[in-house]
Amino acid sequence: MKTNKILQFLVLSLLLFWVAEIFYLSWLPNGDLGKETHFPLWLLDWSNTYFNLRTAIPFMALSFLLQAWYWRTSSSWRRKIKLPFWLINCCIGTVIVCIAEGGQFFIRNRHPDIMDVTFGILGSILGCVLYYLFDSFIQLIFIKK
């Protein structure tokens, strides 16, 4: 039981860090990530080539972490939610990508892009799918029934 609480705290901490990172990257004064030193050079080159696709990648990870956090919470809390969590997860991703893109209205040299919103939502959906595939794989390998 104690291990589950620690794992839940770690996933939640990583989730909050990831949301902060999404906002940080979305609100840089320049959309070019070439000056960011905490990423490898090959990743910076790739992200500057595929502008819209680079939006989907962080939202895949965000969605994956949201699913992981949800399954680490108490089952009594999960029973209270009537909607499937993948739908809630995608709505959370949509809200975050809209806030991130909307914030670009207030930054000089930046402008919001509807394709970034679309790719963020698609990344959230793909993150949910990847979590379910990963979870199924782990159960198949480690929890043999």
Mean pLDDT on 13-24? 92
pLDDT at 101: 93
Give pTM, 2 decimals. Answer: 0.84
Q: What is the pLDDT of residues 80-126, one digit of tens each?
A: 777 788 898 999 999 999 999 999 999 988 888 899 999 999 999 99
Return d(Cα 107, Cα 51) in angstroms, integer: 18
Q: What is the pLDDT of residues 30-84, one digit of tens each?
A: 777 767 777 778 777 877 787 778 888 899 999 999 988 887 776 666 667 777 8
User: Does residue 38 or residue 1 have the better pLDDT?
Assistant: 38
Mark out the alpha helices in 27-52 (DSSP H runs).
Answer: 41-49
The secondary structure element, H or E, covering residue 81 is none
Q: What amino acid occupies position 86? A: W
For tokens 């989907």, the residue is 56
